[in-house]
Chains A and B, each alone.
Chain A
């Protein structure tokens, strides 16, 4: 389903931040904001919920650790107990290092995987750039023209107050 959006391009951090805040204050729907780097405070400006990736990380790590520890004890003490230097079948202290490593491995990979999935980043995905210079030195604010109440001119005014270099209307087909 197509929709009409208003895109404002900015050249500096402060402006885009201000514009975003103002737009949301006005109750406009911010589709997204684009920036060449992580703009500090933008998440609050856009009102994003805190990410739940930490939870993924925790769970994955825990799983890894438990699995590995079980595997070590099972192989060394249950499946084939071998007398190694007179150590007890279940030499727990000796099993700790690998358990830790595997925990980190699981946690790290799972987190990154989750991130890529959530952000929909994947090899071969065609980037939809609002402006070719987004990855260089431009910032863009994309506002949805939700309904008739959306007054293009006043919004243009708002954006130019934050010295937007250009403001244009676009039709965006489909959702990302």
Chain B
């Protein structure tokens, strides 16, 4: 019998060790203007004063003078595009209503992302409607016109044209061929100018290693779907490593008991902190950061010799050509060893593709390091920074200040833009023309879906102007593409715009000589502490720190919102007498501690991407009342910036730092967690259920007992909507959480409200630990309204504000709700959310992102997951218009659409052939709290757990 638990103080002192009242720091008044809300419906309204004795305000409706082709008020139009929230370059379908994008969805046909879209991608749409986005160029912090900016900058540049090596162009990874070309063109005008790419979340060592072993400096493309054994050394490929959506899709495809023929892919994770990927591993080995490279070497040895000692080697050797070994190590030597292992196992050309390499990471840390050195030495006369923020995310990035001319292309006033002499704001991707080639042979297109808001100018246009050949971005892009596809270009172009990408036939695999690397000197692991810097799936490198959705998104593992923190192993924390929320000092950084089960004893882990100046805007997040507490930390920002703690070591940016002793400061900082302490108690509650592959093979199809106490008054003829959630596939990546928030106009409530457990997310992901705290197993469970057939909430509502529909939906009628909260109390799943305050905001620009098909809830009403009833209605209406029935898969809920793992399936239970009906019959299906007979419409598919056990490396 397994015992799940969720935090340590209760693990230590049993389920009942919590102060009756959590400590609340003294509140400080936060001034904030009233919030209201503007509903943007099919037309744009100019609300007027009451006309005469009329009761309702007069509404004005201004139709277009000339109706654009194919655009009808109230009808959504989808445009294919490409996500630029990170270099992974997932395919997008942009949903627009009446000329404004309101939601980003994954493009199911896209060969890289395969229909999924991560939380960051989902949230990035909010950037378009960001009030604080730069609207025109700045010179010395003052707003100027483009002409002034151009003239001033060109004047400065002319003097530099002949100066050798004076000009540097610094960018993040550029996946866009056009932009790369444009930069090249621009730099042609200078002697020995250089375009330098770096990644704040660098994988430079992998590229360097392939330079050594295969002679090409590229990042190979990992094909998880082809792997049967996956061994990952600290690579959080499901969370935030390179291309999580792509990897998650492949990974879950390889581990889906319904679809894949056994054996399911076996996954071992060797890591020092609890990562999302580690939480899914069949075998999780906890090793100190400085031991991991050693373990790689040992594995390499075993593979070389062909005499496996450990389980890993044994399984790997058994699966030659069907295995995949990867490492996030930033030591090129180690990476070379990894290549050697994969080479020996014959994984190149099978699970690892070098012929169609990935361009999602192109950064070269050595170049970046040199750049900073030159800048420090004052060798650089002009520095252009695009899609990067070195001052914030590079150790020693401050050196940029010494460059006499810094030109930034940032969309917002980030750290680098703040010190730049000129800022020439680039456009938001949804306003831009462009392209992206995340993986060799797959080139996505970017097309504008809205008129630019504000006087920004695309990077390529700006460069074209400076290169003396001003042209609109559209032409520049088309020209580049025309060169690639000269014949029948127009049709090709049309087709590409429609599909959103162009895919080239894969190249024939070419034989490459493999140069065995010299074995690295074994760095003996000293028994000291080490600090690990890592990106979270929500905040990545901090480029989206302006985004309140991402700040309020609970970390998939710790469930902390609105802050980063130093996580410590339970044992270590115990020794140091540190508890959750104690502020500790690590390598000069002071931040609150979080005790993280499954972390290595000598490891402190801190998330990157926080403490950015972009987060200063959240002073007013959350409602204002006498006991409200501020959202911002003591530093006036959200969290603390850990990037300066990284360091360059022989040519690569290292995120591990040895010899840092965490010290207790005695101060406390209360974190806002959506889910904390307490266990499932023992005996364990059957909320998360597991099944072994053997049991599953022999499991009988699930059925439902139908004892009826009452007369059968409610037959569900017609549709009967239902959903299944595959707990085995779900990685907890939280894409669905944001997707739901965007789709359903869920408000951001701010840190204090989350701290008071009033987060509004309709879709939450419960996370449970089981087993010993030093090496627990983890289960993720998406939880939301279960749409019970015998819903407790419905019976108790006095005003019929929540009742059952003829299609099995548990309806919540906001306008009828008086807010007794009885329904929430009587909900066994606590899936209901109450509007404690007027959470809707007055920000007219940001409100343009609101979904016009979903009512924005006012203060005092209850709300909850609706199974995206607006989508159901739309599908039904459309089907009705076309005079046909709704097809299976036609209605996709927002969470289902975004899920990279395809864990969520929605459909009509009354259609026996529908996917959901089939999965409901699966031997893995169970219902949460079945015993109280509330008859949920949501079925969960059991976790397929293969007890790999855990041990310390």
A85 an interface residue at 8 Å Cβ cutoff? yes
The total of chain B residues at the interface (CB under 8 A) is 19
Q: How many of A's residues come within 8 Å of B, CB to CB?
A: 8
Q: Is the CB of A87 within 8 A of B803?
A: no
A154 within 8 A of B: no
The proximity string for A residues 72-101 relative to B, scoring 1 for CB distances below 8 Å and 0 otherwise, is 000000000011111111000000000000
List A residues 33-85 near B (Cβ within 8 Å): 82-85
Contact B791 A86, beta carbon cutoff 8 Å: yes
Main secondary structure of the interface of A (DSSP, over half): loop
Q: Which residues of B789-824 are within 8 A (CB) of A?
A: 789-795, 797, 800, 803-806
In the complex the two chains form, is B806's CB within 8 Å of A84's CB?
no
Nearest chain A CB to B552 CB, angstrom units: 32
* Residue contact B790 to A86, C-beta cutoff 8 Å: yes
Q: Is the CB of B803 within 8 A of A82?
A: yes
User: Total number of A-B contacts with CB less than 8 angstroms?
Assistant: 37
8 Å CB contact of A83 from B711, B793, B803, B935: B803
Least CB distance, B890 to chain A, in whole angstroms: 25
Q: Which residue of A lies closest to B791 (CB)?
A: A85
Residue numbers in A under 8 Å from B711 (CB-CB): 88
Q: Would you give the shortest CB distance from B332 to chain A, in whole angstroms?
A: 63
Q: Nearest-CB distance from B804 to chain A (Å)?
A: 4
Does B790 contact A85, Cβ atoms closer than 8 Å?
Answer: yes
Partner of B792, one of A82, A83, A85, A89: A85
Q: Please tell me if the beta carbons of A86 and B803 are within 8 angstroms of each other in the complex.
A: no
CA distance A87 to B803 in the complex (A): 11
Q: Is B575 in the interface zone, CB < 8 Å from A?
A: no
CB contact between A87 and one of B710, B800, B806 (< 8 Å): that residue: B710
Please give, as numbers and ranges, the residues of chain B lying within 8 Å of A83 by CB-CB distance: 713-714, 794, 803-806
CA distance A164 to B794 in the complex (A): 72
Q: Which residue of B has the minimal Cβ distance to A82?
A: B803
Contacts of A85 in B (CB 8 A): 788, 790-795, 804
CB distance from B704 to the nearest CB of A (A): 14
A87: which B residues are within 8 A, CB to CB? 710, 795
Q: Does B710 lie within 8 Å of A84, measured CB to CB?
A: no
Compute how far the CA of A82 lies from the CA of B789 in the bound complex, rounded to whole angstroms. 13
B757-814 contacts to A, CB under 8 A, are: 788-795, 797, 800, 803-806
- Select from chain A the residue with minimum beta-carbon distance to B795: A85
A95 smallest CB distance to B (angstroms)? 13
A82: which B residues are within 8 A, CB to CB?
800, 803-804
Look across to chain B and name the residue whose beta carbon is closest to the beta carbon of A86.
B790
A86 & B789 in contact (Cβ 8 Å cutoff):
yes
Nearest CB on B from A157, distance (A): 71
* Chain B nearest Cβ from A172, distance in angstroms: 58
B720 to chain A, nearest CB (A): 13
Q: Establish whether residues B713 and A84, one from each chain, have CB atoms under 8 Å apart when the complex forms.
A: no
Q: How far is the CA of A70 from the CA of B805 in the complex (A)?
A: 25
- Whether the pair A88, B794 counts as a contact (CB closer than 8 A) is no
Judge whether A84 and B789 touch: CB under 8 Å. Answer: no
Is there contact, CB below 8 Å, between B714 and A86? yes
CA distance A88 to B709 in the complex (A): 10
Q: CB distance B800 to A86 under 8 Å?
A: no
B646 to chain A, nearest CB (A): 56
For B714, the closest partner residue in chain A by CB is: A83
A84 with B935: CB separation less than 8 A: no
- Of all chain B residues, which has the CB nearest A91? B710
Collect the chain A residues with CB atoms within 8 Å of residue B714's CB: 83, 86
Per-position contact with A for B701-743: 1 when CB-CB < 8 Å, else 0? 0000000001101100000000000000000000000000000
Distance in Å from the Cβ of B848 to the closest Cβ of chain A?
A: 36
Sample of 7 A–B contacts (CB below 8 Å): A83-B713, A84-B800, A85-B792, A85-B804, A86-B804, A87-B710, A88-B710
**Given A82-B804, A86-B710, list of 10 further CB < 8 A pairs?**
A83-B794, A83-B805, A84-B804, A85-B788, A85-B790, A85-B792, A85-B794, A86-B791, A86-B804, A88-B711
Q: Ordered nearest first, which 9 A-B pairs have the shortest CB separation? A: A85-B795, A85-B794, A83-B804, A86-B790, A88-B710, A88-B713, A84-B794, A85-B791, A82-B803
